[in-house]
Structure 1
Amino acid sequence: MSLLHTCTLRPQDPPPPGMTARGLVTVYHPKQNSPSLPLLLFPVFPVNPDLGAAVGIPVGLVLDACCILGNNRRGELQLLDMPHQRVADEYSDPDRLLSPGRYLFVVVTEERHPVYDYSVCSSFDYWVPPAVIPLRWKGQEPARAPDLPYFSPSDGGEVILEDDACIVTGATSCLESSHIVPATAVQWCRRNRTLLYAYGGDPLKDIKSARNVVTLRSDLDSKHMDSGLFVFAPFAGRIVPIFLKPTAGDLAYNFHMKEVGFPDRILRGYLFVRFAWDIFKFHAPGLAAAAWAQQMLPHQGPLLNLKRSSSGRDQQEGASKKAKTSGDGRGSHTDEAALLAVYEAVDENLQKQPYLTGGDAELGFHVGFSSTKRLEFEYRRAHPEVSAVGSTQFWEDAENKWDDWTT
């Protein structure tokens, strides 16, 4: 009897599918003087490429990033190619997907007044965390979390893995521990210890404890997480990884915006700090340009003239002059094609949502609205004499000073 067995080679598995970004979400500061350097830049991946799902990035993530750079001031997103056309604000559904396009972030006061000339925070080192983080970032955690054991991988000892598997991929081999709040942020934590204490822990103790580490597969560990490859953020009531670099490839294909088993021991306030650190370091290419714009001399003026006219008639007369001087009969609508592309992308996403939110309706978004916009643009081109429609004009009573019509 022969003890030898025939062995056949196992065929090599096909390479995992990759996924490429389908566009960019770029956000500008109204006073920024460098159109090639947006304040924020996010590559956008399909949520589920196999099912042809909508392409976009959560509105809440973009607004939170803008708020952080704007020194924790809330605001709204407007279309860059159509100033004052609001796309989303703090009352919008944070889980609605923002389509690829160019946007402005405008700070809004408590009285709902827009602020275009606002300052930005130029570095994470100078950023002061808010005492209260947005509600959707909060987890079900006690007011004061219990102490957890400390460890220090830099001591040369065995690295403690707090989780049995990678929290993103579920892998049980090639695992490493990764910090949420970067270990290099100790001095920053010390300066902001009082504010961070309100998050439920003590950052100077927690930064080297199990309260600040998660277990990841080696190709997602701190070296890659610290390169801005992805961020952890809330979406639909869960924590998901959102890949924000075009090089994400097969990782984005398999894990982009998929729910992860994020451990309860990690304070959500620390996760918000980590998000801010990533935004400052990797996703704000025009931050320096926007900060410099605040120091511009008055005669230089802003790149984007976004002052609201004192009346609708001013806007109408100005647009009329542009229409008369335009050689192609389109007036000031030279960016119609780019704007219509944004509308069509928004419309496509609306068709794939299970329902429309009140925020969508308030902004005039409904299934099929891009077709109406296309007809509007075509009509304006064919009838330049009516292409100067400005904002709605209100009748003002000389005695009672009414600001609007009443019924």
Structure 2
Amino acid sequence: MSCTGVGGNGQPVKAIHHKRASRNNVVVTHPGYEPPRVMLTLVAFQAPSGIYGVPFHVVLDACCIVAKNREGTLREENSATDISIENTATPILLPGFYTYHVLEGERQYPICTSFNAWSPPRQVPPHWNFPAMGVAADAAEYTSASSDISTKVKMLDGQCALTGHVSRLQNTHLVPVAEIAWWQYREMSLLTHNLLGPDSLPNCLALRADLCGPGMDQGHFVFAPYDGDAVCVCLTPVLADFAMEYHLRALPIPSRIHPMNVYVRFAWGLFKATKLTLDNYARMSSSVTVQEPDLSPFASVKRKRARSDVDGGGHNLGQEQSDADQDRDRNTAASSSAGAIEAPLDLNIWNYDNIKIAEESEAELHRRHLAPYEEEAGMYAGYSKAIRLKLDYMQKHPEVSAVNNARVGRKWEFDDEQAV
């Protein structure tokens, strides 16, 4: 008999039965190839009901993200019938093989095999848009300079969002600060109405220190909606003892958090946890994949900020940088630093679709006063017209693109000697 410890009467204490991973996985394959190619492998943990599997909507969300935000349905492999969950309140997908079919019917739909290749949707899926997932409330109230973000987050939250522990707290960025180039390229400031970037309060919450770098930043768990709550979803079996206690446990996400940031972290963790599977998919001949964009023109903004994040006493304000941030720093430095310095910077940062998004956001500014965080970010009524004017000018004067190391800077970018 399994036992742990000794009771007060000298008798062995029975081991507590916890949730654990099964030896089987939920494996999702792409039906556009023969045989179908594995595109996702998700660990089947024990749900509160005692059933081993993965929440159905977590699997659907993961498939949608990898399929470049194309909604679809799941079928058991070799079946022509979509899986129906109409009469199930909290459906769990059992271990086994499944195929993901996009609603448009395209068989060889392209796959995003990395986070950089993925672009966030304009809005989070409807089942992610409820108060438990964050509401980005009172953004002006939660404005704070980057120098005291960590202190502010720990003061506001007071405890680990997941465990409730009050010691060893660490500020955790949902979208890692190291992804600033991706943030800028994907126009996350417009999608989240937060022009301060990822190092800001709507993107930060407090977690126990050991759950940050060694945990969430390795893709071992993410947050997602389940049964009307925001819950922790474990994606790998590495932290088995953690998963036993916290898999599918509800957590209070602070109201200041924007749900898009939670959704992006879900995607980021998914790509991290399934990297081997997706890398193998990309290596297979004739696989149709989404190409990664060149983020090097945006890397200089991040490096400029890193040089300036030192306080008057010479202390590094980013000393709590997570493992995810450090890994991305090394990758960025190795792959794109030379190109960002020597190659001409991209003048076409904005396109007319982006401007339409900016105009929609700006329309609110004509009906109210600027909030403090908007003033700090350099927003003003009419900024989209200025951007449109710049883009029109560039199209009429293509010779501007011949200027090396120059580009049109955006209002909320950090000062950079290369911006004009």
* TM-score > 0.5 by shorter chain: yes
Supply the AA of the counterpart residue of 2:31.
P
Q: How does 1:228-377 map to 2 (within 5 A)?
A: 228-291=219-282, 295=286
User: 109, 120, 125: which is aligned to 1:118?
Assistant: 109
How far does residue 15 in structure 1 lie from its aligned partner after superposition? 8.4
2:171 is equivalent to residue 177 of structure 1:
yes
Matched, 1:201 2:202: no
Which residue is equivalent to 1:72?
69
Are 1:86 and 2:82 counterparts? yes
Quick check: 2:136–2:202 contact (8 Å CA) kept in 1?
no
Residues 33 and 190 of structure 1: CA distance in aligned 2, closer, same or farther (over 3 Å): farther
SS of 1:145's equivalent in the other structure is coil
**How far apart are residue 159 of structure 1 and its match?**
8.0
Query: CA-atom RMSD, angstroms?
Result: 3.3
Code of the residue aligned with 2:97 in structure 1: it is R
**2:136–2:258 CA contact under 8 A, matched in 1:** no
Give me the whole-angstrom Cα distance separating, in 1, the residues matched to 2:152 and 2:171.
Answer: 7
Q: Report what 1:100 is aligned to.
A: 95
In structure 2, what is the equivalent of residue 377 of structure 1?
Answer: none
- Aligned residue runs from structure 1 range 364-403, under 5 A: none
Aligned CA distance change for structure 1 residues 265 and 143 (closer, same or farther; 3 Å): closer
Q: CA deviation at 1:207?
A: 1.0
Structure 2 CA distance, aligned partners of 1:196 and 1:107? 29
SS at match of 1:198: helix
Largest Rg, 1 or 2:
1
Q: CA deviation at 1:200?
A: 3.5
Cα distance 1:126–1:247, how it changes in 2: closer, same or farther (>3 A)?
closer
Q: Could you tell me whether the CA contact under 8 Å between 1:32 and 1:290 is conserved in 2? A: no
Shift of 1:28: 0.8
Instruction: Please tell me whether residue 218 in structure 1 is matched to residue 218 in structure 2.
Output: no
State how far apart, in whole Å, the 1-side matches of 2:159 and 2:264 are.
Answer: 24
Deviation at 1:16, TM superposition (A): 7.4
- TM-score, normalising length from structure 1? 0.60
Aligned residues between the structures? 273
Contact kept in structure 2, 1:233 and 1:242, CA below 8 Å? yes
TM superposition shift of 1:211: 1.6
Q: CA deviation at 1:143?
A: 8.6
Q: Look up the equivalent residue of 1:173 and give its one-letter code.
A: S
Alpha-carbon distance, 1:145 to partner: 3.3
Q: Distance in 1 between matches of 2:89 and 2:173?
A: 26
Q: Distance in 2 between matches of 1:85 and 1:21?
A: 28
Higher relative contact order (CA closer than 8 Å, sequence separation 6+): 1
Cα 1:94–1:187 shift into 2, 3 Å = farther
What SS does structure 1 have at the residue aligned with 2:225? Answer: strand
Cα distance per residue 1:325-347 (max 9 Å; x no partner): xxxxxxxxxxxxxxxxxxxxxxx
SS at the partner of 1:208? coil
For 1:26, the equivalent position in structure 2 comes to 27
1:355-399 CA distances to partner (integer Å, 9 max, x unpaired)?
xxxxxxxxxxxxxxxxxxxxxxxxxxxxxxxxxxxxxxxxxxxxx
How far, CA to CA, are the matches of 2:137 and 2:60 in structure 1?
Answer: 27
What secondary structure, in the 3-state scheme, does the structure 2 residue paired with 1:68 have?
helix
Match of 2:118 among 118, 127, 130: 127
Aligned to 2:157, the other structure's residue is in SS state coil
Distance of aligned partners of 1:158 and 1:138 in 2 relative to their CA distance in 1, 3 Å threshold: closer
Judged with a 3 Å threshold, the aligned counterparts in structure 2 of structure 1 residues 61 and 289 are, in CA distance, closer, same or farther, namely same
Counterparts in 2 of 1:165 and 1:218: CA distance versus 1, 3 Å: same
Unaligned runs of 5+ in 2: 1-9, 289-420
The one-letter amino acid of 1:75's match is G
Amino acid at match of 1:172: V
Distance 1:24 1:159 in 2: 40
Match of 1:59 in 2: 56
Whether the 8 Å contact between 2:19 and 2:47 is mirrored in structure 1 is no
**Equivalent residue for 2:333?**
none
Q: 1:16 to 1:220 in 2, by over 3 A?
A: farther
Q: Is the 8 A contact 1:70 1:119 kept in 2?
A: yes
Q: Is the contact between residue 68 and residue 118 of structure 2 (CA under 8 Å) also seen in structure 1?
A: yes
Q: Distance in 2 between matches of 1:241 and 1:19?
A: 13
Counterpart secondary structure, 2:20? coil
- Secondary structure of the corresponding residue to residue 188 of structure 1: helix
Identical residues among aligned pairs (%): 30
Q: Distance in 1 between matches of 2:92 and 2:189?
A: 30
